[in-house]
């Protein structure tokens, strides 16, 4: 037993409240080192009467470690605990300070969860677990009102550039809500809609007005009402890390320099504001002089942005915020932001743009979730890029699931492409079967899936700005087979709760292999997901429980003999099977 690999701490993703009654305990060990793990638990004030051993199950694994987990419902909301580790006949007891051969005689030196206080519980909005998101880049989705077109607007469908305009607006979204309802969409994430100078609108001029090329506040209210009537939620993009060059306080600093009353709204190193050798004399987003970084440590800035956050939730009725460049804003601001937003609407979804490991923001005091780019990377590296085999994909997923509390994983924002990346079809080099395979993983994984506008009808595109093409509305030029495919995936996810919030267990994920199988389990519902990431047909054989299996993919034939299930998959084929008991 390699004790040096054993890890636990009484916080973060290792010991946390899942709900008002339940505490989750996790422990890490060297891969395949331990045969059994037990949590040794009890109440510190009644240890002799309450202590017991609770078996832990292997939650997931990666290339180096196994992760064990159990759920505990302490009757008095207090918990003292340690662990019993077994490897064959060898066993050790783990307390907060040491490993011992003998069982601890008192709870004094065990780990502790002092009390399950309701206000400390990380609560996420339940509706997100059942949602299917659709990301819209407003300038390129649909032109519903030509009267608000910017000067020099180009004919719809032209080549996208960083500085050209095609006239997309909010009225265009309203006109095409039938398309989203037919697809099965239940939530929309909009990139910025506030007044700005660029086509992407990430350089905010006025946080309290809709860009006049998109409409106005009344148009947004009409859109929110129309979407809510269809059961569609609205998520807006909050660019609070930085503003734009035409933001009134920044204009004042440009004009008055160090005498401006707004000088402390920004991070200024030297006056006058200038760009020297490509580096602005003030902090910006990515050295871009038109995006000055806001000083969220300034009480005036903080109060202004919190008023913005409250207004659009409370007065306009949006259902949450996606937070741009969220990891570059101070944690204290996001803690206050959460309080303001959740007071305005406890069910509001707070989504941070963080591309890396994000546990610092997912402890219940800041975000509900982050954009799950590690999942994106794992899927694309396995399906499109071929740099991960089946085992490598399973390890990447295992590592990701082990990092966060379960409730954060249940509302993770899962995506395969966006306005910031090449489009999925292009990454798959035009191979629609690969695209379908990747999307199938998106819709059978934990968290909420998001489709980037146009993917459902075959829109392609390379890196920004090519990924921001105009939506194609001529149905004769749309890929309706892809549309029907996504429609079916969304429907399946709605029909099978296990695909939304069930546990995940890999059944087949071997080294140097392209066959993958995993199980989603929720109560009595069992769903098997099998795929063949190869240009040749392959057969997957699994030992499973003996029952009837319903095949949701009519193109696939399955054979069950006793406990052996055999599924023949064509090149880049997949099967989603449900158990009938």
pLDDT in tens, 193-243: 999 999 999 999 999 999 999 999 999 999 999 999 999 999 999 999 999
Please tell me the distance from the alpha carbon of residue 469 to that of residue 171, in angstroms, as a whole number.
Answer: 18
Read off the pLDDT band of 57 (50, 70, 90).
very high
Catalytic residue (one of 69, 324, 456, 460)? 324
Beta-carbon neighbour count of residue 556 at 10 Å? 17
pLDDT digits (tens, 9 = 90+) for 301-311: 999 999 999 99
pLDDT of residue 5 exceeding 80: yes
Please tell me the distance from the alpha carbon of residue 20 to that of residue 14, in angstroms, as a whole number.
Answer: 17
Superfamily for the 498-580 domain: Golgi alpha-mannosidase II (2.60.40.1180)
SS3 assignment, position 125: coil
Burial class from Cβ neighbours inside 10 Å (0-12, 13-18, 19+) for residue 555 reads: exposed
Q: Which residues on neighbouring strands pair with residue 530, listed in sequence order?
A: 517, 575
pLDDT of residue 546 exceeding 90: no
Q: Are 61 and 67 in contact (CB under 8 A)?
A: yes
Q: Are 432 and 394 in contact (CB under 8 A)?
A: no
- Those residues whose C-beta lies under 8 Å from the C-beta of residue 15, and which sit 6 or more positions away, are 8, 9, 23, 24, 25, 26, 111, 113
DSSP class of 255: H
Please tell me the distance from the alpha carbon of residue 11 to that of residue 363, in angstroms, as a whole number.
Answer: 9
Q: Which residues on neighbouring strands pair with residue 558, listed in sequence order?
A: 567
Q: So where are the chain's domains?
A: 3-113, 131-238+322-497, 498-580
Residue 332: predicted pLDDT: 98
Terminal Cα-to-Cα distance of the chain (whole angstroms): 40
Residue 367: predicted pLDDT: 98
Residue 569: predicted pLDDT: 94
- Which CATH code is given to the segment(s) 131-238+322-497? 3.20.20.80
Please tell me the distance from the alpha carbon of residue 401 to that of residue 68, in angstroms, as a whole number.
Answer: 12
CA 246-252-257 angle, 5° bins: 125
| Element at 427 (helix H, strand E) | helix 424-427
- Which CATH code is given to the segment(s) 3-113? 2.60.40.10
Q: Are 250 and 243 in contact (CB under 8 A)?
A: yes
How does the average pLDDT of the chain come out, rounded? Answer: 96
Q: Do domains 3-113 and 131-238+322-497 have the same CATH topology?
A: no
> Rounded mean pLDDT of 293-300?
98
SS3 assignment, position 11: coil
Please give the model's pTM, rounded to 2 decimal places: 0.96
Indicate the pairing of strand 320-323 with strand 233-238.
Answer: parallel
Catalytic residue (one of 62, 169, 353, 389)? 353
* Residue bearing tokens 């309203």: 174
| Element at 291 (helix H, strand E) | none
Percent of the chain that is helix, strand, coil (3-state, to 5): 30, 30, 45
Residue 519: predicted pLDDT: 96
Please tell me the distance from the alpha carbon of residue 297 to that of residue 532, in angstroms, as a whole number.
Answer: 51
Whether 252 is catalytic: no
pLDDT digits (tens, 9 = 90+) for 173-182: 999 999 999 9
| Element at 45 (helix H, strand E) | none
Residue 381: predicted pLDDT: 98
| Element at 18 (helix H, strand E) | none
CA 188-472-198 angle, 5° bins: 65
DSSP class of 172: H
> Rounded mean pLDDT of 90-111?
96
Residue 553: predicted pLDDT: 76
Residue 133: predicted pLDDT: 98
Residue 552: predicted pLDDT: 80
Residue 444 phi/psi, 5° resolution? Answer: -115, 10
Q: What percent of the chain has pLDDT over 90?
A: 96
pLDDT of residue 409 exceeding 90: yes
The three-state (H, E, C) secondary structure of 515-575, written as one string: EEEEEEEECCEEEEEEEECCCCCEEEEEECCCCEEEECCCCCEEEEECCEEEEEECCCCEE
pLDDT of residue 327 exceeding 80: yes
Read off the pLDDT band of 479 (50, 70, 90).
very high
Please tell me the distance from the alpha carbon of residue 402 to that of residue 13, in angstroms, as a whole number.
Answer: 7
Whether 541 is catalytic: no
Residue 580: predicted pLDDT: 83
């Amino acid at each position: 037993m390699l004790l040096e690999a054993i890890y636990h701490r009484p916080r973060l993703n290792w010991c946390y409240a899942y709900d008002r009654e339940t505490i989750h305990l996790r422990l890490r060990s060297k891969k395949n080192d331990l045969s059994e793990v037990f949590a040794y638990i009890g109440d510190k004030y009644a240890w002799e009467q309450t202590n017991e051993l609770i078996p832990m199950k292997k939650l997931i694994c990666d290339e180096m470690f196994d992760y064990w987990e159990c759920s505990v419902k302490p009757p008095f909301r207090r918990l003292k605990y340690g662990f019993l580790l077994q490897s064959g006949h060898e066993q050790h007891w783990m307390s907060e300070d040491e490993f011992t051969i003998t069982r601890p005689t008192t709870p004094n030196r065990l780990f502790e969860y002092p009390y399950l206080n309701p206000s400390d519980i990380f609560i996420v909005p339940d509706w997100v677990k059942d949602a299917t998101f659709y990301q819209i880049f407003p300038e390129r989705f649909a032109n519903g009102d030509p009267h608000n077109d910017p000067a020099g607007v180009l004919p719809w469908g032209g080549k996208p550039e960083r500085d050209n305009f095609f006239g997309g607006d909010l009225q265009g979204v309203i006109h095409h809500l039938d398309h989203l309802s037919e697809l099965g969409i239940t939530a929309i994430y909009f990139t910025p809609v506030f007044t700005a100078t660029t086509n992407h609108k990430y350089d905010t001029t006025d946080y309290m007005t809709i860009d006049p090329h998109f409409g106005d506040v009344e148009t947004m209210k009409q859109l929110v009402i129309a979407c809510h009537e269809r059961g569609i939620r609205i998520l807006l993009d909050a660019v609070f890390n930085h503003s734009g060059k035409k933001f009134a306080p920044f204009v004042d600093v440009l004009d008055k320099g160090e005498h401006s009353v707004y000088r402390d709204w920004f991070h200024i190193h030297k006056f006058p504001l200038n760009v020297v050798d490509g580096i602005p004399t003030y902090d910006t987003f990515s050295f871009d002089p038109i995006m000055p970084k806001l000083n969220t440590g300034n009480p005036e800035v903080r109060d202004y942005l919190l008023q913005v956050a409250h207004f659009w939730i409370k007065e306009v009725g949006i259902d949450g915020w996606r937070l741009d460049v969220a990891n570059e804003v101070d944690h204290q601001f996001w803690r206050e932001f959460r309080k303001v937003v959740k007071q305005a609407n406890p069910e509001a979804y707070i989504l941070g743009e963080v591309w890396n490991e994000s546990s610092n923001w997912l402890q219940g005091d800041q975000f509900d979730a982050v954009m799950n780019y590690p999942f994106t990377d794992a899927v694309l590296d396995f399906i499109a890029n071929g740099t991960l085999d089946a085992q490598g994909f399973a390890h990447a997923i295992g590592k990701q699931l082990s990092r966060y509390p379960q409730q954060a994983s249940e509302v993770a924002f899962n995506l395969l492409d966006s306005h910031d990346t090449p489009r999925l079809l292009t990454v798959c080099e035009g191979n629609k079967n690969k695209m379908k395979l990747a999307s199938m993983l998106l819709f059978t994984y934990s968290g909420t899936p998001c489709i980037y506008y146009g993917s459902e009808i075959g829109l392609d595109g390379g890196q920004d700005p090519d990924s921001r093409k105009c939506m194609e509305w001529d149905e004769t030029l749309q890929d309706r087979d892809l549309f029907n495919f996504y429609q079916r995936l969304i429907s399946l996810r709605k029909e099978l709760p296990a695909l939304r919030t069930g546990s995940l267990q890999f059944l087949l994920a071997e080294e140097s292999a392209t066959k993958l199988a995993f199980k989603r389990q929720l109560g009595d519902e069992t769903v098997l997901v099998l795929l063949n990431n190869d240009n040749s047909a392959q057969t997957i054989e699994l030992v499973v429980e003996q029952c009837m299996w319903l095949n949701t993919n009519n193109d696939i034939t399955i054979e069950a003999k006793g406990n052996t299930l055999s599924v023949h998959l064509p090149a880049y084929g997949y099967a989603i099977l449900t158990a009938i008991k």
